[in-house]
Amino acid sequence: MPESIHQSQKATRPKIEDVAGNFLSAENNATLQDFVKFLRAGKIGVGWASGNSWSLRYKGKLFGSLHIHNGMWRFAHRGIEKYYQMDDGDLKTFIFDNIYARNCGNCQWDPGSPKAGYMQPTGCGCWPLRIFNAGGEVLENTKKLVEFRMKCILEDIK
C-alpha cells in the first residue's frame, strides 16, 4: 500500500514553501508563496499540522490554516464574529462573500446555500471562511483580513 501524504510528511514536518510546488501550478504556487512570505513577515507562525495542512498562529493564538488539495491552495479562517462589527465595508463584503457554510453540527446555516452570508456568528470552532487560490485583488483583501485579525488578537490579549 502506498504511503499517504500525511505519512510521508509526518517525519519531516515540511515547510509549506518546500512542498507546494509539487502539488500546485506555477501560478497558484506563486500566489501561495507571496501569501506565506507576507505571513512570515508579520511574525505569523506557519507550522505543519497534517498532510498538506499548516496551522497559522499569531501571538500563540490559532487563527487559521493553509491547505493544499487537488491542485488548489486554501486559506481557512475562524473567529469571524469580529467581522460583524467592522467598519471597512469593502473588506466586510469580501469576507462575507467568502464564507462557506457546512454542517458541522453546531453552525446555524442555510442548507439551501453553499455560501453563508446568511450565517449567524457562532463559537462552534469550525472554519467557515475559506479563500481558494487567492491572487490579485483577492490576495490583497486576504492580506487585509489577516492584518485585521492580527489587530483583534492584539486587542484581545491586552
Task: For helices 89-97 and 136-156, give the axis angle rounded to 10 degrees.
Answer: 110
Residue 90 has what pLDDT? Answer: 83
Share of the chain above pLDDT 90, in %: 46
| Confidence tier at 100 by pLDDT (50, 70, 90) | low
C-alpha cell, 2: 502506498
Backbone conformation region of residue 105, classed left if phi is above 0, alpha if psi is from -120 to 50, else beta: left
d(CA 7, CA 110): 37
Print the domain residue range for 46. 5-156
106-144 b/e (C-beta count within 10 Å ≥ 16 → b)? ebebeeeeeebeebeebeeebbbbebebbeeebbebbbe
Q: Report CA dihedral (132, 94, 63, 110) to the nearest 10 degrees.
A: -80
Query: Dmax over Cα atoms in the chain, in whole Å?
Result: 53
pLDDT in tens, 39-90: 999 999 999 999 999 999 999 998 889 999 989 999 988 666 676 677 777 8
- What total number of domains does the chain contain? 1
